[in-house]
Amino acid sequence: MDLSTDHPIAALARQLGLAPDDYQLRQLHDYLALLQRWNKTYNLTALRDPAQMFTHHLADCLAALPPLQRVLAGRDGLRLLDVGSGGGLPGVLIAVLCPGLQVSCVDTVGKKAAFIRQVSAELGLRNLRAEHARVEQLPGRYELITSRAFATLADFVALTRERLAPEGLWMAMKGKRPDEEIAALPADVEVFHVEPLAVPGLDAERCLVWMRLRR
């Protein structure tokens, strides 16, 4: 399949200011195909229409990559935990486009963890692993912890604070700016940036909420 600049995934990446190489474009294409195929049997996502999966999953998650890449600039070997990863969104896409990052996707549903393991094998993503567990039962600590449509900010922080490395960051993908959730955060958690996102083809508000423990 031609993944030239006219291909929808290549065009989407260009709109978002991303610069994947040909191999990464192929990985993105193959991941979306795997998600569509497995979803027919394993119900990884409620969306079935390929066009909706492209905008509501691929485009929606890729929009978070430029801000994340800015945070990671010049830093390799960091560990990222994607909580409630489901079918690997955004964890798989992060692993593809941030190959210097060690990405772990955790989900309590075994078939979703199994899918991510299959994706890791088929796409040759040595920096991607899946954990079938509750996040609070995981060992180790991570410099970055992400979530998408996982829980309220307060619950997200409460469940993962023991997994956050010193000086680590939380990145929560949200719809419209969640001011009530921000107000409900514990006093030792600082929201230091709320970043609006523009998702090509998606007429809906999106933002990233960046958090850390107060110093």
Q: pLDDT tens across 87-131, in order?
A: 999 999 999 999 999 999 999 999 999 999 999 999 999 999 999
* Greater model confidence, 210 or 42: 210
Q: What is the CATH number of domain 8-213?
A: 3.40.50.150
Residue 52 pLDDT: 75
* Greater model confidence, 45 or 9: 9
Q: pLDDT tens across 44-93, in order?
A: 776 666 777 788 889 999 999 999 999 999 888 999 999 999 899 999 99
Domains of the chain by residue range: 8-213
What per-residue string of b and e applies to 90-101 under the rule 16 or more CB within 10 Å gives b?
A: bbbbbbbbbbeb
Residue 31 pLDDT: 94
- Count of other CB atoms within 10 angstroms of residue 54: 20
Task: Reduce the secondary structure of the chain to three states and give it as a string.
Answer: CCCCCCCHHHHHHHHCCCCCCHHHHHHHHHHHHHHHHHHHHHCCCCCCCHHHHHHHHHHHHHCCHHHHHHHHCCCCCCEEEEECCCCCCCHHHHHHHCCCCEEEEEECCHHHHHHHHHHHHHHCCCCEEEEECCHHHCCCCEEEEEEECCCCHHHHHHHHHHHEEEEEEEEEEECCCCHHHHHCCCCCEEEEEEEEECCCCCCCCEEEEEEEECC
Residue 3 pLDDT: 59
| Whole-number percent of the chain with pLDDT over 70 | 94
Tokens standing for residue 146: 């992400």
Q: pLDDT tens across 21-35, in order?
A: 999 999 999 999 999
Q: What are phi and psi of 130, to 5 degrees?
A: -115, 140
Residue 46 pLDDT: 60
Residue 56 pLDDT: 83
Residue 57 pLDDT: 87
Residue 41 pLDDT: 77
Q: pLDDT tens across 127-167, in order?
A: 999 999 999 999 999 999 999 989 999 999 999 999 999 99
- Count of other CB atoms within 10 angstroms of residue 81: 28
- CB of 172 within 8 A of CB of 145? no
Contact residues for 130 (Cβ-Cβ < 8 A; gap 6+): 85, 104, 105, 106, 107, 113, 114, 115, 116, 117, 120
Is 5 a residue whose pLDDT tops 70? Answer: no
Residue 39 pLDDT: 84
Residue 149 pLDDT: 84
Residue 2 pLDDT: 55
